[in-house]
Amino acid sequence: MNKYTKCALLVNLVAVATPTLAFVKGADISWLTQMEDSGYTFYNDWGYKQDVLSILRDHGMNAVRLRVWVNPSDGYYNSLADVITKAKWAKAAGMDVMIDFHYSDTWADPGNQWKPDAWSNLDFNGLMDRVWSYTRDSLEQIKSAGITPKWIQIGNETNNGMLWNDGMASSNMRNFAWLFNSGRNAAKEVFPNAKIIVHLANCQDNSVFRWIFDGLKNNGSQWDVIGASMYPRSVTNMTWQQATAACLTNLNDMVSRYGSEVMITEVGVPWDDAEAKTIVADVIKKVRSVKSGKGLGVMYWEPEAYNWQGYTWGAWNPNTKQPTEALDAFLE
């Protein structure tokens, strides 16, 4: 083999390896500022005090996800100002950023998609206008702060739409689609290269995914990525192995049916689960195996949480204040 053949072979090997390097491994760290302001400290695998982003990065993570609430009840945490602070930390750490708009003053999930109080008296056209202007103005402020998000999530776990009752999908799929379109169009105006995510819970539930995405498509919506939550231990009537297998089947169906890229934007396991590392590693492996290379990555939801607001599905040991083995799954 001469030097030119070797060079060509090296180029081909690099080309083949490049997509692997782009695989997203990250975490939603939205509680971090509040935890630190409450006196929480964090230690690395060796028992030394260290900042969370450095610890996550040492476990192979390259991205963070940050939720945005319109007017949080405490006036600050998860507000745009709080999000910008954390986004700057991520940028300084060399990590990519996902912005997750909840379009609510508090948690938005399949059972709670309530409008911000300040928007409660708007008619539907006014609500669409507010979604557009709020999304645009928020992203303009993020841009002015020097942050360029790689992904923008329009709504959080929108299994039955968002901004209820106007945008409840089971009552009016068109309204949900038009509200989504308002946010999506505003996001693309500010950050045309950002990938727009529609996010649903319960990755194993193909019927709900088909219903929502058929409804969006039939009402003129466009998106770049289908995001899913996957909490394998919480799925009823399935083992965790059955749940992750059903999730993969669903993700492959989303690729085939809509041509979308897919991502697990939330995964979590009880911090003291003996199989935590195995479960998270299995989810990562399955997303890597999605057809056509369209599985973008996996993000752990609030791994830094320990003894915090009753949440026990983080990846930190409350006794040692160190990461659990679950984070080692991201080292692959």
> Which residues are catalytic, by number?
157, 266
**Using CA atoms, how far apart are residues 243 and 231, in angstroms rounded to an integer?**
9
Give the Cα separation of 255 and 231 in Å (integer): 21
Q: Which two tokens stand for residue 69?
A: 């609430």
- CA–CA separation, 108 vs 208, rounded Å? 17
The CA-CA-CA angle for residues 174, 179, 182, to 5°, reads 125
CA–CA distance, 327 with 332 (Å, rounded to integer): 10
Q: Supply the DSSP string of 239-293, one letter for each residue.
A: -HHHHHHHHHHHHHHHHHHH--EEEEEEE---TT-TTHHHHHHHHHHHHHTSGGG
The burial class, CB within 10 Å (0-12 / 13-18 / 19+), for 144 is exposed
CB atoms closer than 10 angstroms to residue 192: 7
Query: Tokens representing 296?
Result: 């973008």
